[in-house]
Amino acid sequence: MATFAVPFEKQKPMDFLTSIVSPFFLHRQGNIGKYAQDTDLIQAKQLRKLLNKAAHTEWGMKYDYKSMRNYNDFRQRVPLQTYDDLKPYITRMINGEKDVLWPSVVRWYAKSSGTTNDKSKFIPVTNEILWRCHYKGGVDCVALYLENNPKSRFFSRKGLILGGSHSPSSLNTQAHQGDLSAVLLQNLNPLVNLVRVPPKRIILMDEWESKIKAIVNSTWNKDVNSLSGVPSWMLVLIRALLEKTGKQYLTEVWPNLEVFFHGGISFEPYRDLYKSLIPSDEMHYMETYNASEGFFGIQNDLSDPSMLLMQDYGVFYEFIQLDEVGSDNPKVIPLEEVETNVNYAMVISTLGGLWRYQIGDTIRFTSLFPHKFVISGRTKHYINAFGEELMVDNAEKAISLTNQQTGAKVKEYTAAPLFLLDKGKGLHQWFIEFVKSPDSLKEYARLLDENLKRLNSDYEAKRYKDISLQPLEIIASREGVFYEWLKQKGKLGGQHKIPRLSNTREMIEELLLIDRK
């Protein structure tokens, strides 16, 4: 393996650029600070703007937006929506019809794998949601990062954005589609490209494995100080960089690295692994919640894993308690009525023409005024085969705790129920790919089980004396099984994620089949 010399040493230059640019973020930092006292006013303003903007669309006239005076009017007239409900409208928009869900013709659509009957969803990306939500979120990430790190040299070096695997392509003569990250990069202000790597022609490559190789070849000798992307896929890039350069740590390749803006999946299972590859006290990790449907949250305190709910991005928020999701008449509440430590399904109305749209994500508020939250999972990604109601955030925290207790490092995992028909009971089967295996898989399973009991009272109750739920079982996979599964599904790279929990065994059986080959 060839060893490459790093073409620059870590330096602390007289960097005036960041100090010159930083004051321009002060006003925005102040506006974000108003979230703490003005939640109801800010959200009421967002709803009013949305209703006024869409009043003359087909949707707005159907529900008479023009006569709506307040939230109660909106809640009583407009029913809750899923993607399947809105799909006929979106299909017409894709075919060039204007003023359907949103004024004007919408040209861009974010392709997203979802939990509906379709393989892919196509989420409208209007000019308004592009600039006043997604790009505004990116700017606010920098604003909040600089507020937390006044000594940052953020603008003096390059930022690496690892985008999606679907480059923009035509749906028809009227519309274009791609992963959200590809759509954002395609429409990005050219000035941003001056401080970003790799070149657009590489980051928008469609074939994932070729793209990783091209990114490595074009960036290993650049002075990169910030990363943006999904943790699991950024790891693939990091390992490829280390293999090319013959280095052990990423800080040997990019010594000025200072921040990783991450999102898409929980960072907790990856945290220790990143720290082992980036052994620097000057490295920061900042979580964001940027979905195809909108930009919703930013971690504004790096010592607190919760994210700040972004209230003035042209998104009106509503919430349904998880146990009411799917019921005939669920209770839906606005942001000012939520409580802490309750799992809520998010309902959004946006500048992208989504109205009372059930996004499928669940969150749990950790504080109010300002409203801060953690993503607790998906409305369909949890295990409740035995009444245990195991959520993704329980699983992520339990894996992280068990790793700390055993020194193990987990790359990927998924879990599903296994029904023991002969015993009238069942258990949870975990399929885990370790980067560093524990000394004892049996002890790792025991500790994981105990940690889940500590984190989830329903799980603990079902595990009591093994009455209904047996001790969990772990199957350690060979290296690369999850990657092969994603490749078979055509889901390499970008925003594609491993479903962590499932009530069915379809996925885990497919993984087991690959593992046996």
pLDDT tens, position by position, 94-138: 999 999 999 999 999 998 764 444 557 899 999 999 999 999 999
Return the minimum-mean-pLDDT range out of 20-24, 113-117, 165-169. 113-117
Task: Look at residue 49 in the predicted model and tell me its pLDDT.
Answer: 98
Q: Is the pLDDT of residue 14 over 70?
A: no
Alpha-carbon torsion (485, 488, 493, 497), positive or negative: negative
Most confident of 349-358, 377-386, 422-431: 349-358
Q: Is the pLDDT of residue 2 over 60?
A: no
- Residues ≥6 apart with Cβ < 8 Å to 301: 148
Q: Is the pLDDT of residue 1 over 60?
A: no
Give domain status of residue 465, yes or no. Answer: yes
Q: Is the pLDDT of residue 428 over 70?
A: yes
pLDDT digits (tens, 9 = 90+) for 31-48: 999 999 999 999 999 999
Average pLDDT of the segment spanning 452-460: 87
Give domain status of residue 443, yes or no. Answer: yes
Report the chain's mean pLDDT, rounded to a whole number.
89
Q: Is the pLDDT of residue 422 over 60?
A: no
Task: Look at residue 495 in the predicted model and tell me its pLDDT.
Answer: 64
Average pLDDT of the segment spanning 253-262: 96
Return the minimum-mean-pLDDT range out of 61-65, 80-84, 182-186, 507-511. 182-186
Partnered with residue 289 across adjacent β-strands are 297
Instruction: Tell me the C-alpha to C-alpha distance, in Å, between residue 115 and each of 143, 165, 334, 393, 509.
Output: 34, 19, 24, 19, 19
- Give how far the C-alpha of residue 437 lies from the chain's centroid of Cα atoms, to the nearest Å: 27
Give domain status of residue 457, yes or no. Answer: yes
For residue 433, give the nearest of 461, 451, 412, 448 by alpha carbon. 412
Give domain status of residue 177, yes or no. Answer: no
Task: Write the single-letter amino acid at 511.
Answer: L
Give domain status of residue 400, yes or no. Answer: yes
Average pLDDT of the segment spanning 482-500: 84
Pairwise pLDDT comparison (443 vs 191), residue with the higher score: 443
Q: Is the pLDDT of residue 464 over 60?
A: yes
Average pLDDT of the segment spanning 348-366: 96
Number of domains forming the structure of the chain: 1
316 three-state secondary structure: strand
Return the minimum-mean-pLDDT range out of 59-73, 92-106, 460-474. 460-474
Task: Look at residue 186 in the predicted model and tell me its pLDDT.
Answer: 81
Give domain status of residue 335, yes or no. Answer: no
Which ranges in 325-426 belong to alpha helices (H)?
392-406
Task: Look at residue 127 in the predicted model and tell me its pLDDT.
Answer: 95
Q: Is the pLDDT of residue 295 over 70?
A: yes
d(CA 414, CA 438): 17
Task: Look at residue 494 in the predicted model and tell me its pLDDT.
Answer: 62
Average pLDDT of the segment spanning 352-360: 96
pLDDT digits (tens, 9 = 90+) for 177-211: 888 888 888 888 777 777 889 998 898 887 888 88
Q: Is the pLDDT of residue 439 over 60?
A: yes
Q: Is the peptide bond before 370 cis (omega within 30 degrees of 0)?
A: yes
Q: Is the pLDDT of residue 342 over 70?
A: yes
pLDDT digits (tens, 9 = 90+) for 133-152: 999 999 999 999 999 999 89
Q: Identify the CATH number of the domain in which residue 437 sits.
A: 3.30.300
Average pLDDT of the segment spanning 258-286: 90
Give domain status of residue 229, yes or no. Answer: no
d(CA 239, CA 210): 15
Give domain status of residue 219, yes or no. Answer: no
Return the minimum-mean-pLDDT range out of 4-13, 92-101, 316-325. 4-13
Q: Is the pLDDT of residue 293 over 70?
A: yes
Average pLDDT of the segment spanning 434-458: 94
Range of the structural domain that residue 452 is part of: 392-516
Average pLDDT of the segment spanning 404-419: 94
Alpha-carbon torsion (377, 379, 380, 384), positive or negative: positive
Kindly report the length of the chain: 517
Q: How confident is the model at residue 284 (pLDDT cuts 50, 70, 90)?
A: very high
Task: Write the single-letter amino acid at 153.
Answer: R
